[in-house]
Structure 1
Amino acid sequence: MSHIIISGASGNLGKEVTEKLLDSGHELYVTTGSHYDGGFDQLSGVKTFSIDLLEAQGSSVFVDHVIANAGSIQAGIFLVGGYTYGDILSTSDEELEKMIHLNFFTAFHLVKPLIAHFKKQGSGGKLIFIGAKAAVEKNSGDASFTYTLSKSLLLKMADMINAEYQSAGITATMIAPEIIDTPVNRKAMPDADFTKWVSSADIAENIASIIQHPEAHERIIRLYNKD
């Protein structure tokens, strides 16, 4: 059994990941958003927290609190994020800052104290990010400039973590889906073939596999639409 922090657990993907890892016997410490419906409150293996992950100090205090209660953390999974459409010419400073804060800083504010904890406990740890196809493939992403750039920052952070800390057993993996099959995406693209999209269950299965096999490490797991 691992003790795991999950951010964004109350979203569509977060619910799938939380349920999958709970079924695998892990102890979960999850952050929830403003639309949380209380669905995890009766589950003994899940402890929920309402945290502003855009605020660094509060995020660090949250990690310290979880460590004090759990004793040690083995993994962090970062699911908070958002999407916006628009190319570089239509992008404002405000839109760019919003996407970087939402997609990058919400993870970064947890990654820092988690790496410090992993180093102190001396047994390594896993960090798992949700990226995007556009962030890992060349000649892709101009139509969603701010989203792609913010996800690219996650990929670069993961690479730097691996370069600096992999020898200490601390690894970072980015799961890079194309289009995730969620109600929000179906509403935005009602004429698309949803059967070709990446399911939340597939992403959750890959995350569970990463946790289950600590000796294995992939830098990027690509989950692209079916042809």
Structure 2
Amino acid sequence: MATLFITGAAGGLGLSVTQTLLTQGHRVLAAIHSAKDKQQLPTEFPDNLFTYEIDLTNESAVTALIEQAITAHGPIDAAILLAGGYATGTLAETDGTLIDKMMTINFKTAYTTVQPIFTHMSQQSTGGRFVLIGARPALDAQAGKTAVAYALSKSLVFQLSDLINASGNGQNIYSTVIVPSIIDTALNRQAMPDADFTTWVDPQTIADTIAFVLFGEGRALREPVLKVYNQA
């Protein structure tokens, strides 16, 4: 049984990931935004699921929470960082306020979690694993030109993963970036009701990919960027 720290655990993707890893018998330390989020999480794993309400943009609070979690549950074997958000906007439409918002939601929430967990992992002989969520608009300018702030913020996630791998070299600390196309979540369906949902990626597919990277043959991969696309 591994001990896993997951941000965005109650989100459209997070629920599938959390359910999958709990079903596989792992201990999940789930970072959630509010008590309402806790109601969305599975209830059939009371001995393996532990929730923490936290503002991921508050660096000192996140560091304190992670220290608390380690004291209570022992070393963290992997961190799966799913928290984030999306916004549209071309270059002409995107101002500094939107840039700041997307940077905070998509990059700062990742960094404030990575930093203390990386420090923790570097102090244990077993090392650890990170899984970050990238985005196709950060890799493809044609896809990113209508979501500029989102694309820019997600581009830093790729850089963060590279820095984890460089800094963790020789310490058995590795990072993977999963890059999904549009994920078939209730929120996305509500935002795009006329879309063909069959062309989107099932959250379970991403959850299975994360499990493969952490515990399957994918564990042997080094510095991968895995594109999980369907038809959209």
Normalising by the smaller structure, the TM-score range is over 0.9
Residue from 138, 143, 149 that aligns with 2:146: 143
In 2, distance between residues paired with 1:24 and 1:174? 22
1:95 has 2:110 as partner = no
Asked if the contact 1:127/1:173 (under 8 Å) is kept, the reply is yes
**2:31 matched to which residue of 1?**
31
Q: What is the deviation of 1:37?
A: 4.5
In the superposition, the TM-score normalised over structure 2's length comes to 0.93
> How is 1:183-198 mapped onto 2 (pairs within 5 angstroms)?
183-198=186-201
In 2, distance between residues paired with 1:154 and 1:122? 26
Report the 3-state secondary structure (helix = DSSP H, G, I; strand = E; otherwise coil) of the residue aligned with 1:184: helix
**2:68 matched to which residue of 1?**
65
**2:126 matched to which residue of 1?**
123
Task: Indicate the percent of aligned positions where both proteins have the same amino acid.
Answer: 37
* 1:176 partner amino acid: V
Residue from 81, 88, 98 that aligns with 2:84: 81
Q: CA RMSD in A?
A: 1.5
Residue deviations 1:84-112 (CA, integer Å, cap 9, x gap)? 00011111111110110000111111100
Report the 3-state secondary structure (helix = DSSP H, G, I; strand = E; otherwise coil) of the residue aligned with 2:66: helix
Asked if the contact 1:210/1:217 (under 8 Å) is kept, the reply is no
**2:230 matched to which residue of 1?**
225
In the superposition, the TM-score normalised over structure 1's length comes to 0.95
1:171–1:84 distance in 2 versus 1, CA, 3 Å: same
> How is 1:140-219 mapped onto 2 (pairs within 5 angstroms)?
140-213=143-216, 214-219=219-224
Q: What is the deviation of 1:136?
A: 2.3
In 2, distance between residues paired with 1:181 and 1:31? 22
In 2, distance between residues paired with 1:119 and 1:221? 25
Residue deviations 1:42-101 (CA, integer Å, cap 9, x gap)? 622100010111100000011111111122111000111000000111111111101100
Residue deviations 1:15-62 (CA, integer Å, cap 9, x gap)? 110000001110010011234152345622100010111100000011
In 1, distance between residues paired with 2:202 and 2:223? 20
Point out where structure 1 has 5 or more consecutive residues left out of the alignment.
none
In 2, distance between residues paired with 1:70 and 1:121? 15
* 1:226 partner amino acid: Q
* 1:161 partner amino acid: I
